[in-house]
Amino acid sequence: MSYSSYQSVDLPKIAASAPDMRTMTWLLASLALVVAPHIERLPIWFLGLFLAACALRIWQLKHQRRSIPGWIKLCLTLLALAGIWLEYGTLLSRQANTGLLCVMLALKVMETAKRRDVYLLISMAYFVAITQFLFNQSFYLTLYLLGVVVVITATLIVIEHQPIRQLSGRSNTQFISNRHLFQSALRMLLYGIPLMATLFLFFPRLESPMWGVPQKSLNAKTGISDEMEPGNILKLFIDDSPAFRVEFEGVIPPQSQRYWRGPTLWNFDGRKWTRQRTVGNPPSIDPEQITDPFRYSLTMEPTQNHWVFGLDRIVEVPDRTRMETDMTMYQRRPITSITTLNMISDPDIPLDLELGPMFREAALQLPDGFNPLTQALADQWRKETESPGLIVQRAINMFSTEGFEYSFTPPPIGRNSVDDFLFETKSGYCEYYSSAFTALMRAAGIPSRVVTGYQGGFYNEESEYLLVRQSDAHAWSEVWLEDRGWMRVDPTAAVAADRVNLGALDTFERSRGPFDYEWMRALRNRFDSLQRFWNQQVINFDKARQHSLLKPLGIEDMTHKQSVLALTLISSAILALALWRLIRQQERRDPDRIHQLYLAFQKRMKKLGVESSPAEGPIDFARRCKANCPQLTDQIDRVIDAYVQLRYAGHQHSAVERQLKDALRTLS
C-alpha cells in the first residue's frame, strides 16, 4: 500500500522554517504598499534602507545565504535610532514614532528567519496602516489602505499554505493563484464589513481622551494666518485643498458678496501687517438692524490655528467661539478636527458707528520713516479733497486708471514697499493692493485696517453647498467713515474685477502646475462632494451623533447600556448569519444546475408515487413514470428529452435549459 498523499512534517521545524520565496514576495509587497504613504514624512534615507533590506533578503533567499551577523544588525539599529533622532530632534513626537516604527520594520525585514518573524512583520504592517490615519483621514487614503489590508491578509494565507508548498516541492502558483489569494482575503474582510459597521456605530466612544491631548492633525493646512506680508497668500493660491464648506439655509449670497472674514490686521511695520492684541467685547449689533440675514453652517477643515471664518459681517457668533471688537473670531483650542459652526451673517449691518480714541489711534498707526512718497501723495489729496469718502474714491480710481495690473508674479519691492508698489511696479495681487491701500488711507488720516480671509467659493449645485478652497484666500481693507462706520473696500476689485466676480483661479494668467487644467478643476469639484459626504458622515461621527442614532426608534439619547445592548444584539445576529452562510456554502453539495432540475423532477414524480432507484437512468425512470402516470406522458417526455440533451448530448444551450424548466413547470 502506498500513501503518497500524506506528508509527514517535523512540526518544530515548520514553525521555525524560513519563509519561502512566495511568502517573502507577498510580505515585501505588503510592507512596501503600507509604508508608501508615509514616505513623504520619513527621512530621505529611509527609502534606501528599506529597499536595501528587501533586496538583501531576496538575495539571501535566492542564493541560500545565511543571515547577516547580529552585531551588524545592532549597529544598524543604533544608527537608525540616531538617524530618527537627528531628523525629528526627538524620539517621542508622533512623526518620530511612526518614523521609528517604519525603520524598525525595514530592519526587521533583514531578520525574517522564522515563521514567527513573518507574523511579527505582518502585525507591524497592520499597525503601520493604522498610523496613516493620524496624518490623514481622506476618503482616498482610506480606500487605498483597505486595499493594502487585503494584501497583508492575503500574505497570511500565503504563509499558512507554505508547509504544503515546501513538502510537495511543486511550483508555487500551482496551489493557489495570486488572484485567488487576493480574492479570498478580500472576501474574508468583506464578510467583516457589517460587523465593522455595527461596531463603528455602537461601540461606546470616549468623552475625553484618557491620555495626552488631542494632537494636531498634521495634514492640516495652515491657511490664513494672523500675519500678512507680500508672498504669504501666494502659497495658498496654489493649494486647491478645501478650507471650509458652507451649507446655506435659503438664500445664497452672490459671488461678489462672498467675503469670508478672518483675522483683522491693524499693525503695520512698513512691510508686514500683524494683529493687535485687542481683547475686547464683540461689536454691539442692534438686532433690529438685521434685515436679510444669511443663515448657514460652515464646516471647517482642520487648521492648526484658532481662527474661525464667517461671511462678512457676522451677527451671530457660533458656539465655543469668541469674537473680538474687530470681528475677528477664534476658538480657545486650535481647530484640529473637522468642525461645524452655525452662524448668521448680514453683509449690510453697520459696524462701529462710533470709533473709540484707542481704536482710532490704532487704525491710523504708520511706521515712522517709511514710504515718504505715499505720505506726500496722501497729504496732497488731503488738501485737494473735501471728505474722506472722496479720498477713498480717488484712491480706487487711481488703481483702476493708472496702469495697475493684477499679477501673481510681481516684481520685488524694497524697504518702502508701499512707495515701490504705488509708484514703480504697479503690479501685484490682493496682499499688495490691500496693504498699499490701507497704508495710503492711514497716511490720509482715514482710519483703516486690513482684513484677511477668503473670497468666493465654488457652489456645488448637486449637493447644494459652497466649497471654499485655500486658493480662494484673499485680503481686503476696511475704512472707517463718519456716520457710516467701517466700510469694506476691496482695492483688488478695482484692478481685477474678475477676481471678485469669478474667483481667484480665473484671474490666473498661467497654469499653476502640471495638472492644472479647467476640466481637472471641474473633476476635483465633482469629487469634493464625495469627500464632503465622507467628512460629514464618517470622519465627523462622534459621541453626540452616536447618541442620537436610535432616534427613529424613539430613543432620543442612547445611553451606554443601550448602545452596548444594541451592539451585542446586532453583532450576534451578524455572526449567526455568517455562521449559517458559511456552513451552508459548504454543505451545498451539488452546484450542478441541471442535476438540480433533474432532482426536482424526481421529487415531483415521487409525489405522484414513482420513486427512482439509484441504479436507474433517466430514460428507464421516465418509462416507469409514463407507465404510472399515462396522462403526463407528453410532459415527462419533454422533461427527459431536454435533460438527456443537456446531460448526455453535450448541449450547453440555455434555450434547452429553459425548455427543461418550462417542461418541469407544466408538471406541477
Partner 1 sequence: MAKQRFDIQSWTYPLIKRLSSHRPPSRLPITISSKRLYVLPTRFGVFFGLLILIMLLGSLNYNNNMALMLTFLLGAFMLLIPIYTVRNLSGLEITHIDAKPVFSGDAAQFVITLRNGHHTARPLIWARHQQLTTVTSLPADATGHLMVAIDSQKRGWMHFERSRLYTTYPVGLFTAWAWLTPDVRCLVYPAPETGAPTLPSGHHDSTGRPEQRGDEEWSGLRDYQPGDPSRLMAWKVVARTGQLTSKVFSDHHNQEIVLDYHNLPIQGVEARLSRLCSWIIDANERGLHYALQLPDQQIQSGHGDAHMHHCLQALAEFQSGAAG
Residues 201-240 interacting with partner 1 (rule: CB under 8 A): 203, 205-206, 209-212, 214-215
Residue 184 interacting with partner 1 (CB under 8 A): yes
Nearer to partner 1 among residue 1 and residue 86 (C-beta):
1
- Report whether 548 contacts 558 (CB < 8 A): yes
- Cα separation of 463 and 46, whole Å? 43
- 655: amino acid identity, one letter: A
Residue of 89, 250, 254, 591 that binds partner 1 (CB under 8 A)? 591
**Which of the ranges 140-148, 241-249, 316-324, 485-493 carries the binding residues for partner 1, by CB under 8 A?**
140-148
Residue 586 interacting with partner 1 (CB under 8 A): yes
Nearer to partner 1 among residue 241 and residue 540 (C-beta):
540
Residue of 78, 82, 196, 238 that binds partner 1 (CB under 8 A)? 196
Residue 160 interacting with partner 1 (CB under 8 A): yes
Q: Which of residues 376-435 bind partner 1 (CB under 8 A)?
A: none
State in angstroms the smallest separation of the CB of 61 from partner 1. Answer: 21
- Cα separation of 316 and 318, whole Å? 6
Residue 466 interacting with partner 1 (CB under 8 A): no
State in angstroms the smallest separation of the CB of 241 from partner 1. Answer: 17
Residue 614 interacting with partner 1 (CB under 8 A): no
Nearer to partner 1 among residue 142 and residue 304 (C-beta):
142
- Torsion angle (degrees, nearest 10) of CA 628, 631, 632, 633: 80
Residue of 52, 113, 199, 549 that binds partner 1 (CB under 8 A)? 199
Lookup: cell for 312: 462678512
Residue 183 interacting with partner 1 (CB under 8 A): no
Nearer to partner 1 among residue 78 and residue 190 (C-beta):
190
User: Pairing mode, if any, of strands 405-406 and 427-428?
Assistant: parallel
492 CB neighbour count, 10 Å cutoff: 28
Q: Which of residues 553-582 bind partner 1 (CB under 8 A)?
A: 571, 575, 578-579, 582
State in angstroms the smallest separation of the CB of 196 from partner 1. Answer: 4
Residue 599 interacting with partner 1 (CB under 8 A): no
Residue of 337, 340, 365, 536 that binds partner 1 (CB under 8 A)? 337
State in angstroms the smallest separation of the CB of 492 from partner 1. Answer: 39
- Torsion angle (degrees, nearest 10) of CA 375, 380, 386, 392: -50
Task: From 292, 227, 233, 238, select the one nearest 265 (Cα to Cα).
Answer: 227
- Torsion angle (degrees, nearest 10) of CA 156, 161, 163, 165: -130
- Report whether 429 contacts 283 (CB < 8 A): no
**Which of the ranges 100-108, 126-134, 302-310, 491-499 carries the binding residues for partner 1, by CB under 8 A?**
126-134
Nearer to partner 1 among residue 191 and residue 423 (C-beta):
191
- Cα separation of 199 and 185, whole Å? 21
Residue 590 interacting with partner 1 (CB under 8 A): yes
**Which of the ranges 36-44, 70-78, 121-129, 441-449 carries the binding residues for partner 1, by CB under 8 A?**
121-129
Nearer to partner 1 among residue 591 and residue 609 (C-beta):
591
- Report whether 105 contacts 42 (CB < 8 A): no
Residue 140 interacting with partner 1 (CB under 8 A): no
Residue 137 interacting with partner 1 (CB under 8 A): yes
Residue of 21, 72, 119, 235 that binds partner 1 (CB under 8 A)? 119
**DSSP secondary structure code for residue 312 in this structure:** S
The three state secondary structure string of 334-380 is CCCCCEEEEEEECCCCCCCCCCCHHHHHHHHCCCCCCCHHHHHHHHH
Residue 317's SS3 state is coil
Residue 587 interacting with partner 1 (CB under 8 A): yes
Q: Which of residues 485-544 bind partner 1 (CB under 8 A)?
A: 538-542
- Write down how long the chain is: 668
Nearer to partner 1 among residue 11 and residue 44 (C-beta):
11
- Report whether 215 contacts 191 (CB < 8 A): no
Lookup: cell for 187: 472576501
* DSSP output for 401-459: HTT-EE-SSPPP--SSHHHIIIIII-EE-HHHHHHHHHHHHHHTT--EEEEEEEE--EE
State in angstroms the smallest separation of the CB of 589 from partner 1. Answer: 5
Nearer to partner 1 among residue 383 and residue 588 (C-beta):
588
Lookup: cell for 5: 498523499
Residue of 68, 134, 362, 364 that binds partner 1 (CB under 8 A)? 134
Nearer to partner 1 among residue 332 and residue 588 (C-beta):
588
